[in-house]
Amino acid sequence: MPEQPDIDHILREIYATLSPRFGEGKVADYIPQLARVDTRQFGMAVLTLDGATHLVGDAETAFSIQSISKVLMLTLALGKHGESIWNRVGREPSGSAFNSIVQLEAEHGIPRNPFINAGAIVMTDLLLAGHTPREAIGEMIRFVRSLADDEGIVIDQAVAKSEQATGDRNRALAYFMHAYGAIRHPVDHVLGVYFHHCAVAMTCRQLARTGLFLANDGRDPVGGGSVVSRSRARRINAMMLTCGHYDQSGDFAYRVGLPGKSGVGGGILAIAPGHAAIAVWSPGLNAQGNSLLGSVALEMLAQRTGWSVFG
């Protein structure tokens, strides 16, 4: 049996090493409410399959999960529509920015993958089938609360409003896809739901707990219930590995070696299959819109634990 890494020690070491750099990177100022966040905050949570919780720094402070919600949108859309979703969205890395428009025209309104904004907007359209916008938002928040086993998780309405007020780029993507018939519901309904999903607020501890089923073949190792099948969990992890960091996905796979999904709130959810779910939060972003220190912290964690999907 390989020796269990001392995760608390590793987290303390990561915190101490990175603390002189806290505040590096730039907040996402295109969503004004996110621009108000103090960039010097840093938190990390590691939840292992035996149910142990390891925390460091601001791991109990809620932040906007933003695009990390795209993993949940994909999981819900697969649950509702099965593999037929792949008729509406691709599963290739885009090599472009998360909010890129150019590729969409060349590819006739079919987004490259469910984790770029255009792809997540299509997933939201699928989640609206048979639902009012309010019901679709309710379905997401109930799903998150049940995964996290925490009824206290809420949507930050100020963030949702802030993005609604400034979301012209997403509006452009959505209208463009609507013109191709790639979106079937009214654009304002789809975007209203999409913005609310992005505005779910969670702490690192809650986020890691939410993702734990992906580290355990689709089953909740604590509550014991099955969330998705084993093959579906593997496939969601495959999407996170190949597409979870947009045009930095290759770099993240090279440096960290784990499936991960970032958000412009500065959070990253990473999955070490068979070991743990990890959430890190550091609001300063790099040029690709991913948490700058968050990915450094995950690289250090992966090195020190030996966790990797590449053996």
- Applying CB under 6 A, the span of 14-22, 44-52, 77-85, 257-265 interacting with ligand DON comes to 257-265
* Whether residue 102 lies in the annotated active site: no
Work out whether the CA dihedral 7, 9, 10, 15 comes out positive or negative.
positive
Using CB under 6 A, pick the residue from 162, 164, 290, 305 that binds ligand DON: 290
Cα 233 to Cα 239: distance, rounded to the nearest angstrom: 10
Residue closer to ligand DON (CB basis): 257 or 283: 283
Which of 69, 67, 74, 44 lies closest to 57, judged by CA? 44
* Whether residue 264 lies in the annotated active site: yes
- Say how many CA atoms lie within 13 Å of 17 toward its Cβ: 14
User: Which tokens sit at 236?
Assistant: 């969601």
- Least Å distance, CB 262 to ligand DON, is 4
Binding map of ligand DON across residues 38-67, x = CB under 6 A, - = no contact: ----------------------------xx
CB 291 within 8 Å of CB 281: yes
Q: How far is CA 141 from CA 16, 73, 163, 224, 278, in A?
A: 35, 11, 18, 20, 21
Residues in 107-126 that interact with ligand DON by CB under 6 A: 117
> What is the C-alpha end-to-end distance of the chain, expressed in Å?
15
Using CB under 6 A, pick the residue from 37, 198, 243, 258 that binds ligand DON: 198
* Whether residue 180 lies in the annotated active site: no
Using CB under 6 A, pick the residue from 111, 259, 260, 263 that binds ligand DON: 263
Residue closer to ligand DON (CB basis): 218 or 259: 259
Helix (H) or strand (E) holding 200: strand 200-202
Which position among 194, 200, 261, 295 bears the catalytic label?
194
Using CB under 6 A, pick the residue from 22, 42, 63, 98 that binds ligand DON: 98
Say how many residues touch ligand DON, by CB under 6 A. 13
Which position among 122, 190, 228, 264 bears the catalytic label?
264
Cα 68 to Cα 268: distance, rounded to the nearest angstrom: 7
Cα 99 to Cα 157: distance, rounded to the nearest angstrom: 22
What residues act catalytically?
A: 67, 70, 194, 246, 264
Chain residues that interact with ligand DON, rule: CB under 6 A: 66-67, 98-99, 117, 163, 170, 198, 262-264, 289-290
